Amino acid sequence: MKGMKRRNAVWTGLLVGVLAGGLGGCGGRETTEPVPEYVFTYAENQAEDYPTTLGAYRFAELVKERTGGRIEILVKANGELGDEQAVVEQLQYGGIDFVRASLSSLSEFVPEVNVLQMPYLYKNSEHMWKVLDGEIGEEFMEIFEGSGLTGLSWYDAGARNFYCTKKPIRKLEDVAKMRIRVQESEMMGAMVEALGGTAVPMTYDKVYSALETGEIDGAENNWPSYESVRHYEVAPFYTVDEHTRVPEMQLISQHTWEKLSPEDQAVIRECARESAIFQRKLWIQRSEASQKRVRKAGCTVVELSEEEKQRFRQAMVPVYKTYCADYMDVIERIEAAGEE
C-alpha cells in the first residue's frame, strides 16, 4: 500500500516536472518543489482546530522544512483513518505511519504504561510534566520497543473529569449504578467499577449519540474534548474531580522507523519534541477557552469537595493492586517527584 503511495508520489512528481518543463517552454515558471522521497500518513482523532491536531501540523511542517521536502507527512484528522485502537494496530502492521494517541488506548498494547495514568497519581500538571520530561518519561518512551511502535514525544491532555446527562456527581454514592463510558482500557473500566458505577467501554466517536439516547448516563474527559465534540450539549453536569491525567503520545510505526536513516530518525524525534512544546502551550489556552465556552452555554460545573475526593482516592486501592502491583517502585518514584 505504502510502496504504491510512494510510487504514486514519484509518478505525480514526474508529471509535475514534465508539465512544468512544458509550461516553461511556454514562458511559465519552473517549479522548485522537490519530489518527496517518503510520503507518510499521520492519524489524529480530534478536529482540525484541536491542540493535538495543530501540533501534528507543526510537526509535519518542521519535518518537511528540515529534510528539504524529502519527507512529507499527511495529517488526517477527525478520526478519518479509524478509531485509536484500530489505528494503533495499523501502525503495528505498517499500514499507517504515525499516530497521536491517548495512553489509555496504548495501554491495551503495552500494559506497563498504565502506571503513568493511574487515578489520582499526580498532584497537578507540573508534577506530571516533571515525571514525563525526566528519567521516568524516557524509560517509558523506550518501553514500546518490541511492540511494533516507537514513541516520539509526550503531548498534554490535562485532567479528566466526569460528566452526566441528568444530575451532577457530588459524592461517591452518586456514581452508583450510573452507566459511564470509558475508553477501551481495562484499567479505566476497573476505575469506574471501583467507584460503584458500571463501565461501558466505547470508542470516542460513539459517545455523543450514546449520551443523547440514554444508552449511558455519563462519560469522562478533559475540558477541550468535552467542548470540542460537544458532549456538553447532551451531558451538561460536569464534576471537576481530576481523577486521571492521561498523557498522550506521538508514535511512529516500527516498520517506518526502520526504513529511515539514523539522520532522518534524529530529525523526526527532534521535530516531534518541538511540536510537543508547541502543543502544550496551545493546550493551556484551549483548556481555558473550552471552560469558558461550556460555562457560558449554561452547564453546571461542580467542584468535588476535598473530603469526597479523598473517598474517591481511597476507592482506588484495589485498582492499584491489580494494575500496579509489579510497579510499586515506579509509583513511589513518581510520588517522590511530586514531593521535591
- Binding residues (CB under 6 A) for ligand GCU: these are 45-46, 84, 102, 157, 183, 204, 221, 225, 248
* Cell triple for 206: 460513539
C-alpha span between 37 and 60 (Å, rounded) = 15
For residue 218, what are the β-bridge partners?
A: 164, 180
Residue 152, φ and ψ in degrees, nearest 5: -120, -45
Which of helix, strand or coil describes residue 100? strand
Shortest distance, CB of residue 4 to ligand GCU, whole angstroms? 29
Cell 508539465 belongs to residue? 19
* Nearest residue (CB) to ligand GCU, 248 versus 308: 248
* Nearest residue (CB) to ligand GCU, 193 versus 205: 205
Shortest distance, CB of residue 248 to ligand GCU, whole angstroms? 6
* Nearest residue (CB) to ligand GCU, 36 versus 82: 82
C-alpha span between 324 and 111 (Å, rounded) = 10
Contacts of 111 (CB under 8 A, 6+ apart): 323
Shortest distance, CB of residue 224 to ligand GCU, whole angstroms? 8
* Cell triple for 42: 499521520
* Nearest residue (CB) to ligand GCU, 23 versus 284: 284
C-alpha span between 254 and 93 (Å, rounded) = 9
Shortest distance, CB of residue 32 to ligand GCU, whole angstroms? 38
C-alpha span between 298 and 244 (Å, rounded) = 25
* Nearest residue (CB) to ligand GCU, 221 versus 275: 221
* Nearest residue (CB) to ligand GCU, 84 versus 264: 84
Shortest distance, CB of residue 182 to ligand GCU, whole angstroms? 8
Angle among Cα 5, 8, 10 to the nearest 5 degrees reads 115
Shortest distance, CB of residue 286 to ligand GCU, whole angstroms? 11
